[in-house]
Amino acid sequence: MTRWTASRIRSSKGKSRLACLTAYDYATARLVDEAGVPLVLVGDSLAMTMLGYETTLPVTLAEMLHHTSAVVRGVSNALVVADMPFMSYQVSIEQALENAGRFIKEAGAGAVKIEGGALRAPLVRALVQNGIPVLGHIGLTPQSIRETGGYKVQGRRSEEAERLLADAGELARAGIFALVLECMPAGLGTEITASGPVPTIGIGAGPGCDGQILVTHDLLGLYSGVTPKFVKQYAAVGETMARAFETYRQEVEDGAFPTEEQSY
């Protein structure tokens, strides 16, 4: 199998649909990669799914680097994209370059993701010109919830929709290889997809995008927080784990485990 790269993802536009997932640890990354997923995102959603925070804001650069290198060790074919955490790229272009470089050099990621529209175009240009592929992310951008006031569908009003269309164009011109569209009306997802040269990867942006991404914990039924409308749960792994833990406890308490079979 040929390895997925940022340029291969970019040139898949109009040829194949991209089924992308998040992963935060070695074992899950291996399974996701073996399933043939082309892009594995080490999302800052790990702040919530793995570390138990209420938002993505507290996760640190050190924590993101630690999880990204574990994912890289589990992946053979997919492109691993590291999400740059809150305040690791907003302060200055110089600091963002340094931090993004650590994801590539130290953690072994193939690209980074940053949130935001036209405002981020100069940063995207600087990263790309220095050899760091960038995945854009517009629509609902969870790192801005303190300013936007919560997890709301974006682009319902026509001026908002126009701004998002313009953001997508600016980011494409700046050099992103693909663009995450989060939580927007399906019609707008389709319109942005049709308007630009790079693949769009939707999460709550309807079926008209070039690809989709889900948080793996949501797909597996492993996360006990709020589940958004756009999630489809493909398995009930949380329930299976809870049953296994309970049965184990019961068997140890009853003396049913271990038996001769598990003894030397």
Binding site for ligand KIV (CB under 6 A): 22, 41, 43-45, 83, 180, 203, 213, 215
* Of 151 and 257, CB closest to ligand KIV: 151
In whole angstroms, give the CA distance from residue 12 to residue 182: 20
Helical spans, DSSP H, in the chain: 6-10, 26-34, 46-49, 61-74, 93-105, 121-129, 145-148, 158-174, 186-195, 216-220, 237-254
Q: What is the spatial distance between Cα 72 and Cα 49, in angstroms, rounded to a whole number?
A: 19
Nearer to ligand KIV, 136 or 175 (CB): 136
Q: What is the rounded distance in angstroms from the CA atom of residue 82 to the CA atom of residue 124?
A: 15
Q: What does the alpha-carbon distance between residue 233 and residue 222 come to, in Å, rounded to a whole number? A: 9
Looking at 162, 182, 239, 260, which residue is catalytic?
182
Asked about 106 being catalytic, the answer comes back as no
Nearest-approach distance from CB 23 to ligand KIV, in angstroms: 10
Phi-psi region of 232 (alpha: psi -120 to 50; beta: other; left: phi over 0): beta
Taking the least distance from each CB to ligand KIV, the nearer of 46 and 126 is 46
CB of 179 to ligand KIV, least distance (A): 11
The least CB distance from residue 207 to ligand KIV, in Å, is 17
> 45 or 68: whose CB is closer to ligand KIV?
45
Composition of the chain by helix, strand, coil, percent to 5: 45, 15, 40
Do the beta carbons of residue 142 and residue 55 sit within 8 Å? yes
Q: Is 244 exposed, middle or buried (0-12, 13-18, 19+ CB in 10 A)?
A: exposed
Q: Which residue in the block uniquely carries the two structure tokens 């269309």?
A: 165
Residue (85 or 175) nearer to ligand KIV, CB: 85
The residue nearest ligand KIV at its CB is 43
Closest contact distance (angstroms) between CB of 12 and ligand KIV is 18
Shortest approach of ligand KIV to residue 113 CB, angstroms? 7
Tokens read off for 14: 């109009």
Residues labelled catalytic: 182
